[in-house]
Structure 1
């Protein structure tokens, strides 16, 4: 529990130290992305770069290993736009990060899971009691783990969380210094193809596992037209993504340095799209925030409506 609070404290300290952030550069937009998702495809296709170049704006793409690191960068003023899963913004908002949601992806519950080695004696969630479970601190899989434990009558304190980013978690998993791993695509698909892991459960029935699109508040306030262009290009890329899966796999596997097969598996788990933040989505995110407050993972209540772009 201490390490989660340390994460919140460090995030908040970063915010406190960012009062002298430089002004927004109107000629450049800095976009944070991860190895997988529509934002990554948007980068690979280059269509946003072309659109904004015609308006005199350069696009600087910055890759992050996971959502918490991406939102820490947004909090510190190092990026203007980013995409993460559903849980990182809860921790970020609780730490007063200056972010706003401006779009959401479609549900992808099959794209994250709790896995164990194929020869593990663990065969159900109840058997995780007292075991070491690897996960990226504050990432989308955090909520899956909490809800899966809850359904089986366990509490978060009943397991031993080991907070590691995906690459380190995979190494620990291979060494068997952890008993289970909670992970998302494309790392989940990579674990299936490379390690032959056994899946205890995916997120179906626990959480929607949507992606979310964020902007720094100051950037969104001053660049509404650019945000609308980004939304339009994300929507076009999602449509292209769904209609051209094989080309998408080729682009992504080359861009992220991962073999074709795991990327292919990840691509075909779900359809992709971009939708506005609606009442149902707000309720979903608020439920995550309320759950994390109740079990002590965030230090104060938050209202998701406070950080929705153009909610009126």
Structure 2
């Protein structure tokens, strides 16, 4: 074979490889960057036993993990390209992210868990009903699912959001504020909710039953959802398996998560009992409450502009 023939074959091979996406860069190991919160139970389990890394190895994809204090910073990181996928975030989080112009795609959801968030008061508080919150100071994490629960609970009593004084705090600071008496109530989600009950004797004033479905959503950047359906398919399958395992093995799941979260297994078991952990595809009809949430926040002036929640993309998961 002469030099001219060899060069022609090399060039032909490179052109064919490029047409198939087999460039030198594609041969390198890719990395799936996942943003999560401490309360991201299923992702925490996958991270602990490296289940996802093992599943993605045949695709030559590694995983990096990035912890955030709440859902909104995760959405910001997703929007600016610092991460590719978010672990479960509360139903309100995509709404606020969309209001800020984020380009994100729903990829899966955990089915409704209305009892997994609640308005709490101290065990010896004189407050008995949501109506008693009028004129009181309430700790809540801005933009979290608990924020919408507070809005919905007040509305059910005929009270506008301005009838209370919000203290926008992280879960840890909210619990400290309630324990210290600097707020009259605190709106929390599990496992923080169960921890406050078990460890501090906090009392539930009202949970989300009949007020907020409290679904939790997994999202990806638009670009990642469009490019890496193979990775998302494996991720969702592993999340579904983890959710099924947690519900089938409550004691073992509580022990594992308790060790990760550094809290008592009793707390985790109570929290897990309230969460569905049923990982499902997202449907347009199933997102109806998202518009209700957006309208509620906009009506109270907490969302700067009206949005159409149906404008966010839904990843077209392959049929099993």
**Correspondence for 2:8:** none
Q: Which has the larger radius of gyration?
A: 2
Q: How does 1:43-192 map to 2 (within 5 A)?
A: 43-82=47-86, 83-192=88-197
Distance 1:311 1:59 in 2: 22
Gaps of 5+ in 2: 1-24
Distance 1:63 1:178 in 2: 28
Distance 1:178 1:75 in 2: 34
What TM-score comes out, normalization by structure 2 length? 0.86
Q: How does 1:182-221 map to 2 (within 5 A)?
A: 182-221=187-226
Q: CA RMSD in A?
A: 1.9
Distance 1:113 1:254 in 2: 25
Runs of 4+ with >4 A deviation: 23-26
Gaps of 5+ in 1: 1-22
8 Å contact from structure 1 (residues 100, 307) kept in 2: yes
8 Å contact from structure 1 (residues 141, 184) kept in 2: yes
Q: What CA deviation, in whole Å up to 9, does each residue of 1:13-64 have, x standing for no partner?
A: xxxxxxxxxx999611111122233222322332111111232211111222
Q: Which stretch has the larger CA shift, 206-215 or 38-47?
A: 38-47
8 Å contact from structure 1 (residues 113, 188) kept in 2: yes
For the residue of structure 1 that corresponds to 2:108, the secondary structure is strand
**Correspondence for 1:28:** 31
Q: Which stretch has the larger CA shift, 128-137 or 37-46?
A: 37-46
Q: Name the count of aligned residue pairs.
A: 290
What TM-score comes out, normalization by structure 1 length? 0.88
**Correspondence for 2:42:** 38
